[in-house]
Amino acid sequence: MSASGATALSQLTEIVGEANIVRDPGPLTRYDIDSKTPSAAVRPGTEEQVAELVKFAGREKLACVVSGAQTKLGIGMPPRRYDLALDLSRLDRLIAYDPEDLTLSAEAGTPLAKIASVLAEHDQFIPLTVPFMARATIGGTIVSGVDSPLRHSYGTARDFVLGMNFVTGDGIAARSGGRVVKNVSGYDIHKMLIGSLGTLGAITRINFRTFPLPRQTRTFVAEFRGSREACEFRNAIVRSALRPRTLEIVSESARGQFLPSQKARAALGDNRWSVYVSFAGDEDVLKRNYKELVATRHSEPGVSEWLSELNPAEERSVMSILSEFPAAILKRFPAAAILKISALGAELPDLASYTASIEMPWAVVMRGLGVAYLAVWPPDASPGSLHMLKQHCGRIFALAGKPPFRQVTLPWCPSALKREIDIWGPLPASFELMKKLKNVFDPGGILSPGRFVGGI
Amino acid sequence: MPQRATIVTPDAPIAQNEMNSRLLHDLEKVLGPRGILHAPEDLMLYEYDGSIETARPDCVAFPRETHDVVEIARLAARHQVPIVGRGAGTGLSGGAIARHGGIVVSFARMNRILAVDAENQRAVVQPGVVNSDLSAAVEHLGVHFAPDPSSQKACTIGGNVAENSGGPHTLAYGVTTNHVLALEIVLPSGEAVRLGSTALDAPGYDVTGLFVGSEGTFGLVTEITVKLTRSPEAVKTLLAIFDSVDDATETVAEITARGITPAACEMLDGWTIRAVEEYVHAGFPLDCSAILLIEADGLREAAEADARGIADVCSAHHARNVRVARDARERDLFWKGRKNAFGAAGRLSPSYYTQDGVIPRTKLPATLRRIEEIGRKYHLRIGNVFHAGDGNLHPIILFDERNEQEFRDTIRAGDEILQYCIAVGGSITGEHGVGMEKDRLMPLLFSEADLELMRRVRGVFNPADLLNPGKIFPTSKGCGEIYVRPRHGPAVAPSA
């Protein structure tokens, strides 16, 4: 906003009012992305204002990055240009909640915590226990594509988002999907906006399917001498009649950072691995699950040293840590690089044993379905440490495409690394289509330019 | 199979008189003489699907490999001829009909299961694989393919992908899109592209999610990577018999309110029950007003607990009787009654028209009453058989296509039902697709801006609108322009 800065500002004021424009450098830093600060932040209060703002930005060729609570701006590349931060936190209304229909519609800036507490009054929830849960908004959660351990039984956002309202890069307010649990009218455009990092549109409203909260859950932890044994336990569970609610394999380095110590475990040696598995159901079901778990252990002789049940407080703490793993790592080690690696379930042993070759501090949480978050961080603040970090990440990216590193991305890492590593990994085969789709939604290239895969 | 009505729209040219002989020659060079059909008597079999619409293609091509599909697309592009993909032709919205003529690409011969990885619960199939054949092929491994449309013994997985098909068990397990991980598609330009990945969370936009349910307007699917679902240890199938429709619908709402998610929850109304019973002899009582067919599955203890809870709710809502299938044979019989409901309706009337509206499930009682009123208003018999658990209605309107007034009233009644669905916050289609049947209703659901964005998205894949033209988006067609002509016999693909 240079030459016509004053005019531009007066137009912004006209749309949202002066109170909803942030220009002071101090408060603006919360919108920083890898040290890039926008010229201004605007806080629209309605969907119409969002459309007006995007239209305005389009006319003035101002690059916009949409955010909610600014908890996950670190994901992705910094924008090529960054003029305006569109802060949707004032769009925080629950539009509709029909407990008996198990559907909910909320504006994008609604905090997850607010939605969770409203749903809890009716013993319902949305299976999004995600990083930065306490502050995150629903829009930011959906658009950044973060996942939850609950995906093991409930799937990801693409499985329970029913529809969306959004504003495209040319300022057009559009809608896709609907508010009923089953619907095939029109193209599922909203699926593509999930995980699109704000490059296709500003999501203003999201419709969800909600789920009944299980009356009872129980979580067990099994401890193993090594990763292969832990993975074999995971395989045995997956092959059995059991239907876990969550199933996570956790390295000792991750467990030791965050989770309460269980019992004396000296006998297990240094390369301990834990499997956290939870179930829902009535007492009979939970008893049967435990029995099967024990039987599973016996069918793999000697693999598990012991299996224990967590008390409700431990269960909550474990669920929270497993959900918050990337956030917890970043809090403790701001210079960490967190790789997201997708493998097939049966390839997890190879992924786990790879960690033995990492020559710097690391920790990994592997979802039983085959998605792993591997964190590595420099032992100290020396420039050499950053170099090591880069080398390690580079080594993994070099393996990308081959099992078990079928897909590799680097959602979180220090800014310096982003200049040297392609954090989105190899281009997908359908990248040309993606580029053309981006052009349909954002012909002027003003929405989060350069943030996503292949510089989209 | 009963004769059913046929709608030919004036804006859809009945087969162009002669296909460019050069194109036929080129197609034959690629596919061999047995790889195409173009004689009028052969084409008749491909002029319709399970809907009440028809249009005759100019020729039918039978690819065997992706490469064949690429060549067909290139030839069609060079000759500027429309292409329409076709699985088994069981669709209910006209999705596989060559509305503007051109080449129908039948995937009947691309019907191989290419890979099964039970350990990782994945399978790779060609689009012509029949839905239930995949589940049968992997049954011994303890897994199955979850989407189960009523036509699953005939419909193909390629067709399921195009329409994002559902089925009774999608209540708990999700529809086709929830089970598709990756696709190989051929664009109308002849370019083959891979979307998605076998592993979860493919980086970049979820183009796979966008593609599934695009009703054949984005590309021709040549390979599909699906998730396989672990088969449950136990299944409990309950048949609850009600003397009042309202009791049955309130039961459905109460089951959900108690936090029970059944694997399936289907309802048949009294008229449909009698039609089905005469045909299938499933043991449904002839004097009741509604039955619910509800299934609970999972771990033995979980299925039993859910079944007990469901039975309690049924009794609390005055179910006359709740029967639990004693064995697999009885379970199959109950399901046979449900899955043959449309066939049963067909025996009682020269024609029938099936709707696919969706409503929030709490609106079930009011919606069923509204449907009854609409039936009375037009003097039409409307049966109801539907996925009650997710509010996906399938009103069956019976009519005689020889009676032009009755036919027009049928279309009007269908539209009024769907307009009511929209008015209560629902949708015009839950699993059958928009196709050429409900395109005119799309503006009731979406703004011009929404539709324009969808058209632009289609343009990314299919810029010249050569792929399945005349579908999804509203044309100028109105009820008054529809006329009827008779039709005979079912759609049958030539044996491969």
Q: Is B3's pLDDT higher than 50?
A: no
| Closest residue, chain A, to B471 (C-alpha) | A186
Residue B231 DSSP symbol: P
Mean pLDDT of chain B: 91
Chain A residue numbers touching B202 (CB-CB < 8 A): 342, 407, 428
Chain A residue numbers touching B305 (CB-CB < 8 A): 281-282, 284-285
The reply to whether residue A424 touches residue B454, judged by beta carbons under 8 angstroms, is no
The reply to whether residue B175 touches residue A182, judged by beta carbons under 8 angstroms, is yes
The reply to whether residue B359 touches residue A180, judged by beta carbons under 8 angstroms, is yes
- For the ranges A56-65, A303-312, B119-128, which has the lowest average pLDDT? A303-312
Q: How far apart are CA A231 and CA A247, in angstroms?
A: 11
Residues 412-471 (B) with a CB less than 8 A from some CB of A? 425-434, 438, 442, 445-447, 449-451, 453-454, 456-461
Tell me, what's the ipTM? 0.96
Q: How far apart are CA B298 and CA A170, in angstroms?
A: 48
Token duo for residue A101: 């229909």
The reply to whether residue B193 touches residue A189, judged by beta carbons under 8 angstroms, is no
SS (H, E, C) chain A: CCCCHHHHHHHHHHHHCHHHEECCHHHHHHHCECCECCCEEECCCCHHHHHHHHHHHHHHCCCEEEECCCCCCCCCCCCCCCCEEEECCCCCCEEEEEHHHCEEEEECCCEHHHHHHHHHCCCEECCCCCCCCCCCEHHHHHHHCCCCCCHHHHCCHHHHEEEEEEEECCCCEEEEECCCCCCCCCCCHHHHHCCCCCCCEEEEEEEEECEECCCCEEEEEEEECCHHHHHHHHHHHHHCCCCCCEEEEEEHHHHHHHCCCCCCCHHHCCCCEEEEEEEECCHHHHHHHHHHHHHHHHHCCCCEEEEEECCHHHHHHHHHHHHHHHHHHHHHCCCCEEEEEECCHHHHHHHHHHHHHCCCCEEEEEECCCEEEEEECCCCCCHHHHHHHHHHHHHHHHHCCCCCCCEEEEEECCHHHHCCCCCCCCCCCCHHHHHHHHHHHCCCCCECCCCCHHHC
**Residue A213: predicted pLDDT:** 94
Q: Closest Cα of chain A to B463: distance in Å?
A: 11
B480 close contact with A: CB closer than 8 A: no
The reply to whether residue B207 touches residue A214, judged by beta carbons under 8 angstroms, is no
Looking from the CA of A7 toward its CB, the CA atoms found within 13 Å total: 7
Q: Closest Cα of chain A to B178: distance in Å?
A: 6
**Residue A278: predicted pLDDT:** 97
Q: Is B263's pLDDT higher than 50?
A: yes
Mean pLDDT of chain A: 93
- For the ranges B9-13, B164-168, B233-237, B376-380, which has the lowest average pLDDT? B9-13
The reply to whether residue B301 touches residue A288, judged by beta carbons under 8 angstroms, is yes
The reply to whether residue B456 touches residue A440, judged by beta carbons under 8 angstroms, is yes
In this prediction, residues A371-376 reach a mean pLDDT of 98
Q: Is A136's pLDDT higher than 90?
A: yes
| Closest residue, chain A, to B143 (C-alpha) | A239
Band the pLDDT of A257: cuts 50, 70, 90: confident
Residues 376-395 (B) with a CB less than 8 A from some CB of A? 387, 390-392
The reply to whether residue B177 touches residue A429, judged by beta carbons under 8 angstroms, is no
The reply to whether residue A185 touches residue B428, judged by beta carbons under 8 angstroms, is yes
* Out of A185, A369, A452, closest to residue B200 by CB: A369
Chain A residue numbers touching B419 (CB-CB < 8 A): none
β-strand partners of A142 = none
Q: Closest Cα of chain B to A148: distance in Å?
A: 13
Per DSSP bridges, beta strands B382-387 and B395-399 are antiparallel
β-strand partners of B52 = none
Per DSSP bridges, beta strands A84-87 and A64-67 are parallel
Q: Closest Cα of chain A to B174: distance in Å?
A: 8
Q: From start to end of B276-409, where are the E strands?
A: 290-298, 321-324, 351-354, 382-387, 395-399
Q: How far apart are CA B197 and CA B206, in angstroms?
A: 10
The reply to whether residue A440 touches residue B460, judged by beta carbons under 8 angstroms, is yes
CA dihedral B462, B466, B470, B473 (to 10 degrees): 10
The reply to whether residue A182 touches residue B460, judged by beta carbons under 8 angstroms, is no
Q: Closest Cα of chain B to A177: distance in Å?
A: 9
Q: Is B2's pLDDT higher than 50?
A: no
Q: Is B9's pLDDT higher than 50?
A: no
Chain B residue numbers touching A243 (CB-CB < 8 A): 230, 298-299, 302
The reply to whether residue A433 touches residue B117, judged by beta carbons under 8 angstroms, is no
Q: How far apart are CA B322 and CA B293, in angstroms?
A: 10
Residues 227-256 (B) with a CB less than 8 A from some CB of A? 230, 232-233, 253, 256
| Closest residue, chain B, to A242 (C-alpha) | B299
**Residue B10: predicted pLDDT:** 40
Token duo for residue A309: 């049940």
The reply to whether residue A182 touches residue B387, judged by beta carbons under 8 angstroms, is yes
Percent of chain B with pLDDT over 90: 83
The reply to whether residue A182 touches residue B214, judged by beta carbons under 8 angstroms, is no
Q: Is B208's pLDDT higher than 50?
A: yes
Per DSSP bridges, beta strands B220-227 and B122-125 are antiparallel
Of A68-82, B274-288, B323-337, B464-478, give the range with the top mean pLDDT. A68-82
Cis peptide before A404 (omega within 30 of 0): yes
B473 close contact with A: CB closer than 8 A: no
Q: Is A69's pLDDT higher than 60?
A: yes
Token duo for residue B88: 């088994």
The reply to whether residue A454 touches residue B204, judged by beta carbons under 8 angstroms, is yes
The reply to whether residue B429 touches residue A185, judged by beta carbons under 8 angstroms, is yes
Q: How far apart are CA B266 and CA B239, in angstroms?
A: 10
The reply to whether residue B425 touches residue A173, judged by beta carbons under 8 angstroms, is no
Band the pLDDT of B257: cuts 50, 70, 90: confident
The reply to whether residue A242 touches residue B299, judged by beta carbons under 8 angstroms, is yes
Chain B residue numbers touching A242 (CB-CB < 8 A): 299
Helix (H, G, I), strand (E, B) or coil at B230: strand
Closest CA to A38 of A109, A86, A108, A95: A86
The reply to whether residue B431 touches residue A182, judged by beta carbons under 8 angstroms, is yes
The reply to whether residue A241 touches residue B299, judged by beta carbons under 8 angstroms, is yes
Number of neighbouring beta carbons within 10 Å of residue B132: 17
- For the ranges A61-75, B445-459, B476-490, which has the lowest average pLDDT? B476-490
Per DSSP bridges, beta strands A103-107 and A94-98 are antiparallel
Backbone angles phi, psi at B205, to 5 degrees: -65, 150
The reply to whether residue B453 touches residue A174, judged by beta carbons under 8 angstroms, is yes
Closest CA to B154 of B392, B490, B442: B490
| Closest residue, chain A, to B452 (C-alpha) | A174
β-strand partners of B240 = B292, B322
Chain B residue numbers touching A235 (CB-CB < 8 A): 119
Helix (H, G, I), strand (E, B) or coil at B181: strand
Q: How far apart are CA B225 and CA B207, in angstroms?
A: 14
Band the pLDDT of A256: cuts 50, 70, 90: confident
Radius of gyration for the alpha carbons in chain B, expressed in angstroms and rounded? 22
**Residue A413: predicted pLDDT:** 97
Neighbouring residues of B449: CB distance < 8 A, sequence distance ≥ 6: A172, A173, A174
Q: Closest Cα of chain A to B245: distance in Å?
A: 19
Percent of chain A with pLDDT over 70: 95
Q: Closest Cα of chain A to B33: distance in Å?
A: 34
Residues 291-350 (B) with a CB less than 8 A from some CB of A? 298-302, 304-305
Tens digits of per-residue pLDDT, B293-330?
Answer: 999 999 999 999 999 999 999 999 999 999 999 999 99
Q: Closest Cα of chain A to B135: distance in Å?
A: 17
Backbone angles phi, psi at A214, to 5 degrees: -65, 140
Number of neighbouring beta carbons within 10 Å of residue B321: 13
What string of DSSP letters covers B384-400?
Answer: EEEEGGGTB--EEEEE-
Query: CB of A98 within 8 A of CB of B360?
Result: yes
Band the pLDDT of A7: cuts 50, 70, 90: confident
Cα angle, residue B482 at apex, residues B219 and B86 outer, rounded to 5°: 25
Q: Is B235's pLDDT higher than 90?
A: yes
Q: Closest Cα of chain A to B146: distance in Å?
A: 14
In this prediction, residues A229-251 reach a mean pLDDT of 93
Query: How many CB pairs below 8 A link A and B?
Result: 246
